[in-house]
Amino acid sequence: MADRPAIVLADYELMKQTLVKEGAAYTGRQQVPLARLVRGGDYGIIATTGELWQQHRRFALHVFRDFGMGKDLMQERVLDEVKDFLEKCQRSQGEPIDLRDHIDSAVGSIINNLLFGFRFDESNMDQFHRQKNVLVQAMELSARPSFILFMLFPSLKVLPFYKAYSKEVKNNSDVMFGMFDEQIEIHKKETDLNCEESTDYVEAYLKEQKRLENEPENGGFTHDQLRNVCFDLWLAGMETTSNTLYWGVLYVVLHDEVQTSIHKEMDTEIQRLANLLPLNVFHETTCDVEIDGYPIPVGTLVLPQISTVMYDEKVFPNPYEFQPRRHLAEDGTFVRIDEVVPFSMGKRQCLGESIARMELFLFLANLFNKFKPCDMHTSLGALRTVDRGDINF
């Protein structure tokens, strides 16, 4: 990549060998100056490495498990949003409907409730739209050629047009971080730090921060780290799930024969074919390694090309076709195919995978159980555009 050596992994067995069996050697991250500018330094979970990343990934997993991740308690939270989502759909009374806003607000409510302890409804929907719009703008800015150019050639920052672009990126991120700062300050005023039980992530974080305040090593539990983790989790919990649901609705509308069989095989095929992570976040080797017999030095960029794996014709015949039955055995039972890796692999695998899988299943199964969407032969709703993102922890 530009002046840095980079390795692209396009084979499942190689990914398994490197990211899983030798995972610790591939947990590094490429440091991007523009990201430092936006974040105010090396903060968050997505872009950090070493002890800071390990501590906060571990803490986030611990908190979400306490909140019921993968259990009935989390399912109840998701089902509350599914119920509200279906009621909004019902109000259309058979008329054409744009599902994007309903999907976005439902998915946004789930992650917002986990982070800040409240969901979005008619009383605060303006706040959701502000956060969503800023997030969309951030994704658009990061998709510009300028972003890739400055990521590859940081020395170009001396050019005038870089200053204009970086200012636009910084201004947009300041708005998003300002929204998170507001919620954090509310929590600081209202949270009882002596109460053991926490109702959301920020509350749990502030209590952990209090517990560690007199420790020589506080694990990086600072305000700057908290606001950046909120950004990472809100972005990852919002965009990838909602976009996968868009694709799910589109595929099923165009293949209405599968609407009577909404099971695990359909969710799996949607995630495989939607391919929301065609280009993963770069890993970086933390020590000298060997890949397929080739010596690779420390500091080399490594890109797991998961799209190649999920479109491998040897594993998935006619890989660009929507075929849920490819995930079923002859007796109709679900067959797990290792090469379906939408959440990546190894130590950087998405920490919200179980929540995302639960959301996809409950939203799609209940939507198609209650309604029969049909193709209106127009570009309405979820059929119009689908954004792609690349989020991996």
Name the binding residues for heme.
350
Cβ-Cβ contacts under 8 Å for 4 (sequence gap 6 or more): 300, 301
- 251 vs 244: CA distance, rounded Å: 10
Name the residue type at position 174.
D
Contact 150, 156 (CB under 8 A): yes
Q: What is 74-117 written as a DSSP string?
A: HHHHHHHHHHHHHHHHHTTTTS---HHHHHHHHHHHHHHHHHHS
Q: How many CB atoms lie within 10 A of CB 73?
A: 11
| Cα angle for residues 336, 338, 7 (degrees, 5° grid) | 165
What number of residues does the chain have?
Answer: 393
- 107 vs 356: CA distance, rounded Å: 10
By the 10 Å C-beta count (0-12 exposed, 13-18 middle, 19+ buried), 208 is classed as buried
- 40 vs 327: CA distance, rounded Å: 45
Please choose, from the candidates 155, 136, 131, the residue with its C-alpha nearest in 3D space to the C-alpha of residue 34: 155
Helix (H) or strand (E) holding 301: strand 301-304
Query: Could you tell me the CA-to-CA distances from 357 to 7, 63, 67, 198, 350 in Å, in that order?
Result: 30, 18, 16, 24, 11
Q: What is the DSSP letter of 205?
A: H
Cβ-Cβ contacts under 8 Å for 194 (sequence gap 6 or more): none
Annotate 31-66 with b (16+ C-beta within 10 A) or e (fewer): ebebbeebbeebbbbbbbbeebbbbbbebbeebbee
- 114 vs 68: CA distance, rounded Å: 11
Q: What is the DSSP letter of 332?
A: S
Annotate 240-266 with b (16+ C-beta within 10 A) or e (fewer): bbbbbbbbbbbbbbeeeebbeebbebb
